[in-house]
DNA sequence: TCATGATTAGACCAATCGGTCTAGTCTTTC
DNA sequence: GAAAGACTAGACCGATTGGTCTAATCATGA
């Protein structure tokens, strides 16, 4: 019943927020430490490899958050399109809350940084977790396994592109319009 | 008939390449200068605002390159789908040449950096130029203006998402598969 | 030939970067 | 209540950052 998040969690969440806003290289350790209210020693205790470790933890945490939204969107969905639509609306709302300026939670977080291949591998794993989660709902809604995987990939690809365009325009409409783009005008 | 690109051009192209690989904050000025073979003084002569100016020039240059590929893909295309397909194949080839590790030319370049809103505005303009170029071909192929704009947006959104996924997987297949995703299996 | 503005050249700067290290403070266990 | 390990605290480090500034060199037109 702790009301305070642990030091580790505060670090991960502060890092997530800041990486999303300014990117990996754009965010200083001091900034993260200040935001989390944690001294440097603690960081290197919980994350021996420092910034890189922290970034991977942040990516992992974000992927789980996204999957949580997927779950919330698809659990009660009568069909695939409804699930996608709910997800897009939820994310559009999040986009508006985030001041319409941040990078897409997972997608923007990775790639940069010195340890290129480690980050790439982490991103690949995060992507696959998310796609697999969506594909599971596709199957549950009656699709064959490979069709579901394909539909989930298309969905996530479209979402990623839409978020980027939404960001340049600072308008969340693009996200809400994704289902119509992918599946035609709503009947 | 100069065979040597100008100092300015060498700076822009070196910056483009490096920003694409390591991002804005991840790339040091010294690195750009070394790669371009240009001393610091020249940079601040051609780009008084330094790194930020250079990044905007790089973005602009890249957008023009993309539009050139769009032109090459659509000029002789018998219909919209053919144009999109050719574009995707050309970009997949580029992706392979670039070692499958770089960010998508335009899309990854921007957003970070201190002068957030300036970069955002630059990205928006680049996006719009590219979408408008594609939409023009849509109209030329018989679509009404608003349909063409919508098709172009969907195309670019899909492309952006596909490049990202291709990057995490280090496989250009995703790019080549985009037309089938958007328009169904080829007949 | 000389003068002038454009351009190149790189030494130099304060600030910040990520990371290390030692000291101290909790918490747990016997 | 004492010993031991988990954790916090922050001073400190060399390297690198983007940016400034002065001096030299180049091209050009009178």
Spanning CA of A50 to C1' of C25, the rounded length in angstroms is 23
Asked if B164's CB is within 8 angstroms of A162's CB, the reply is no
Q: Show which of residues 90-119 on chain A sit within 8 Å of chain B, judged by CB atoms.
A: 101, 103, 107-108, 110-114, 116
B136 exposed, middle or buried (CB, 10 Å; 0-12, 13-18, 19+)?
A: middle
Q: What value does the mean pLDDT of chain B take? A: 92
| Separation in Å, CA of A9 to nearest CA in chain B | 25
> What does the pLDDT read at residue A105?
61
Q: Considering only CA atoms, which of B124, B83, B146 is closest in space to residue A166?
A: B124
Instruction: Select the residue of B24, B101, B157 nearest A162 (Cβ to Cβ).
Output: B157
> What does the pLDDT read at residue A100?
64
B165 exposed, middle or buried (CB, 10 Å; 0-12, 13-18, 19+)?
A: buried
d(CA B184, CA A14): 42
Footprint of strand D on the protein (CB under 7 A): A 7, 38-42, 44-46; B 25, 27-31, 40-41, 44, 49-52
Q: What is the ipTM of this complex?
A: 0.92
Spanning CA of B186 to C1' of D26, the rounded length in angstroms is 60
Averaged pLDDT for residues B42-57: 95
> What does the pLDDT read at residue B51?
95
Could you identify the residue whose CA is nearest to the C1' atom of nucleotide D16?
B28
Averaged pLDDT for residues B38-56: 95
> What does the pLDDT read at residue B73?
98
For residue B153, what pLDDT band results from cuts at 50, 70 and 90? very high
Say yes or no: A187 contacts chain B, CB-CB below 8 A. no
For residue B108, what pLDDT band results from cuts at 50, 70 and 90? low
| Separation in Å, CA of B109 to nearest CA in chain A | 11
Spanning CA of A117 to C1' of C26, the rounded length in angstroms is 39
Averaged pLDDT for residues B111-123: 83
Do B77 and B137 meet the contact criterion of CB atoms below 8 Å apart? yes
Closest chain A residue to B158, measured at CA: A158
d(CA A128, CA A141): 20
Closest chain B residue to A126, measured at CA: B168
pLDDT by residue for chain A (187 residues), tens digit each? 445 788 899 999 999 999 998 889 999 999 999 999 999 999 999 999 999 999 999 999 999 999 999 999 999 999 999 999 999 999 999 999 987 678 876 776 667 777 788 888 999 999 999 999 999 999 999 999 999 999 999 999 999 999 999 999 999 999 999 999 999 998 7
> What does the pLDDT read at residue A13?
95
Q: Show which of residues 50-89 on chain A sit within 8 Å of chain B, judged by CB atoms.
A: none
For residue B35, what pLDDT band results from cuts at 50, 70 and 90? very high
Mutate to test the interface with B, among A51, A149, A160, A175 (most CBs of B within 10 A): A160
> What does the pLDDT read at residue B111?
72
Mutate to test the interface with A, among B109, B160, B184 (most CBs of A within 10 A): B160
> What does the pLDDT read at residue B109?
64
pLDDT tens, residue by residue, B55-96: 999 999 999 999 999 999 999 999 999 999 999 999 999 999
SS3 labels along chain B: CCCCCCHHHHHHHHHHHHHHHHCCCCCCHHHHHHHHCCCHHHHHHHCCCCHHHHHHHHHHHHHHHHHHHHHHHHCCCCCHHHHHHHHHHHHHHHHHHCCCCCCCCCCCCCCCCCCHHHHHHHHHHHHHHHHHHHHHHHHHCCCCHHHHHHHHHHHHHHHHHHHHHHHHHCCCHHHHCHHHHHHCCCC
A contacts of B127 (beta carbons < 8 Å): 165, 168-169
For residue B103, what pLDDT band results from cuts at 50, 70 and 90? confident
Residues B168-173: contacts with CB under 8 Å, at least 24 apart: B168/A110, B168/A120, B168/A123, B168/A124, B168/A127, B169/A124, B169/A127, B170/A120, B170/B100, B170/B101, B171/B100, B172/B92, B172/B93, B172/B95, B172/B96, B172/B100, B173/B92
């Amino acid at each position: 019943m702790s009301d305070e998040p642990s030091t580790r969690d505060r670090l991960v969440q502060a890092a997530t927020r800041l990486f999303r806003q300014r990117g990996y290289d754009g965010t200083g350790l001091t900034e993260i430490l200040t935001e989390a209210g944690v001294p440097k020693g603690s960081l290197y205790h919980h994350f021996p490899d420092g910034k890189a470790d922290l970034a991977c933890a942040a990516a992992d945490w974000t992927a789980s958050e996204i999957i949580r939204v997927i779950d919330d969107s698809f659990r009660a969905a009568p069909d695939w399109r409804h699930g996608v639509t709910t997800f897009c609306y939820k994310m559009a709302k999040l986009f508006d809350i985030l001041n319409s300026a941040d990078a897409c939670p997972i997608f923007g977080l990775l790639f940069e940084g010195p340890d290129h291949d480690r980050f790439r591998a982490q991103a690949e794993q995060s992507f696959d977790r998310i796609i697999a989660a969506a594909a599971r709902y596709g199957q549950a809604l009656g699709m064959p396994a490979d069709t579901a995987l394909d539909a989930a990939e298309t969905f996530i690809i479209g979402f990623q592109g839409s978020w980027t365009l939404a960001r340049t325009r600072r308008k969340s409409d693009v996200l809400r319009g994704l289902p119509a783009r992918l599946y035609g005008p709503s009947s």
